A and B are shown apart, each in its own frame.
Chain A
Amino acid sequence: MAKNDDDLRMSGVKSKKGVGQYILSVILLIYTAFCALPIILVFIAAFTDEMELATTGFTYFPKKWSMTGMNAVLKYGKQLFTSYGVTILITVSGTLLGLLVMSLYAYSTSRRDFRLRGFLSIFAMIPMLFSGGTLSCYVIYTNMYGLKDSLILLIVPMCVTTMNLIILRTYIQTSVPEELMDSARIDGAGEWKTFFGIVLPLMKPALAAVGFMMATAYWNEWQNALLYISSANKKPLQLLLVNIQKSIEMLLNSTNIPSAALSAMQGNIPQYSSTMATVVVVIGPIIILYPFFQKYFAKGLTMGSVKG
């Protein structure tokens, strides 16, 4: 940055495009490449010939392209489709449930003469400061609640978070005009009608920002799945990735291929490319959807930083 001094001295604010600006651009381009290149490598590896990967290793410029990895994933990966379904179910239901209950909570704690308001705010704040930790949660959920191998554990514990509650409440307090709510009440609308008819629609930008962050968290969640999920038809995508790391055979196994047949074809399993193809299939949707939600981001993040 210091290099810019002389070029930009006495120039208009951010207007003159001096040499310094080009140097800055190049530095930022290099950093961006550092962010993007590892991801691109995986996409390329997914379509690289398996023999080439095995002999000469990962490369950005494969001599021979191939669909075998992707085909193997799509052909043997019945589990992959099941897992896709599970992940989508968890992501959608968790995000919607979370947005609904948190908006309601945020709305009720933003009512000024509600006497429990202070208590409820502190109640929501404490989990950010103190938590039982993974082990306590594990023992309470499985031993006390008797929940094991249950999708509830992948959906509900994550759906209410202090940070998101604060974002939503701050948004209601600052961006939803109190007069609108009052006029609705004067027109005879009850609290529920006011909330669903007036407040919730006006919260759209905040809901989009929080919703996308939640959806990403759900999509990427692997730890709870690893701890709690054992049956194949409840395995989310990330758990599948974790399992693949242990052995790619697991993916093949779960499609009911007899183990004898499996060991016979062991040599022919396109290991590297199909692993990378699986990674591509798992991270693809997030990368595709991201640009559509991007504009809400800065807004949502900024809202969160305003303390509640």
Chain B
Amino acid sequence: MVDPNAYKQAKSNNFWHNMWKHRAHLLMALPAFLILLLFSYVPMTGLIMAFKKFNYADGIWKSPFNGIDNFKFLISSKDIFIRMTKNTFMYYLIFTILGTFLNVVVAIAIDQLAFKKLGKTLQSIMIVPIFISYAAVQFIVYALLSQESGLINQTFGTATRWYMEPKYWPMILTIVKMWNSVGYGSVLYMSVLAGIDQEQYEAAQIDGANKWQQICHITIPSLVPMITIMLLLSVGGIMRSDTGLFYQVTRNSGVLYDTTQVIDSYVLGQILKSSNFGFTAAATLFQSVVGTGLIIIANGVVRKLHPENALF
């Protein structure tokens, strides 16, 4: 099959011949193909709800169209819409910038550590939080922040009502998110660092570069392609959030919505209340289109600057 003549021959044969020859491969691809089709592609058509007055009895196809009424509604209740879009975007920015920065710092710190065994052990522990679901994390946060019995108030002798004060939550959610993801995120960068040729460091030392200069001129540049790819991948999720973080950790408390409600947690709440599907569908369509648009733009930019790092 790798013989170039056979390859050419196969290519010159017609398409159906090729299909017949690869009937086993067709069959192999079929199960995953069907799963993607039924559980990813067909649901995309559900976005048409944004233009419909949905009701359960008629179902998604027979429900009547209502033009752009849902979007008018979306714009008229702009406070909620703007609030959740702003929160979604703000948290995306904080989490991505701070997260990437901390991932890289932790990765370099562990890589530079001369006590290799200690570094490995510490890293293993740092990764653990990612394996704890937000449904469980919310209890951990509660143990720390509960007003009467929480560890924070106990330790500092304060009586802060954390769950009543929206202003604290951007900080709390950022800390929880970093706690959850930085250890895991740094693994990726560590594996890149492990691949750096040690001779580069030795050569730099001979040239008189100190540790700090070595990090700036060898370590960080070698991480740039990975950082680009990770940022690019994350751009597609700009309008999506870690629903668990915003829905579970905040206990979906209405008092905190000002700083904690994001599009995803709003949508989840609306489905569970099974109300207002038109509005929700319009918000969802907005979310999907903006997300996809941004990843295409970001990919285009990267393609211009560093074609080898582009996603597609």
Contact = CB atoms under 8 A, between A and B. Distances in A.
Contacts of B28: 104-105, 107-108, 191-192, 195
A165 B45 contact: no
A57 B149 contact: yes
Interface string B119-145: 100101111111111111011110110
Interface residues of A, number: 116
Interface in A146-177: 156-157, 159-160, 165
A93 interface: no
Contacts of B215: 1
A297 to B, nearest CB: 6
A176 to B, nearest CB: 13
Interface string B190-204: 111010001001100
Q: Is the interface of B mostly helix, strand, loop or mixed?
A: helix
A286 interface: yes
B44 A108 contact: no
Given A131-B40, A133-B287, A139 B54 contact: yes
B35 A101 contact: yes
Contacts of B229: 305, 307
A123 B33 contact: yes
Interface magnitude class on chain B: 35 or more
Given A24-B109, A42-B140, A227-B272, A129 B22 contact: no
Contact of A156 (B35, B61, B202, B291): B35
Contacts of B156: none
B24 to A, nearest CB: 4
Given A114-B22, A135-B49, A144 B124 contact: no
B187 A132 contact: no
Contact of B212 (A2, A14, A160): A2
Contacts of B7: 112-113
B126 A31 contact: yes
Contact of B43 (A104, A137, A185): A137
A238 interface: yes
Interface stretch (A4-12, A68-76, A251-259, A261-269): A4-12
B124 A128 contact: no
Contacts of A220: 131-135
A17 B115 contact: yes
A14 B109 CA distance: 12
Given A130-B291, A135-B277, A136-B45, 4 more contacts: A24-B113, A32-B125, A101-B35, A160-B32
The 5 closest A-B pairs by CB, nearest first: A136-B46, A57-B149, A220-B133, A191-B24, A132-B43
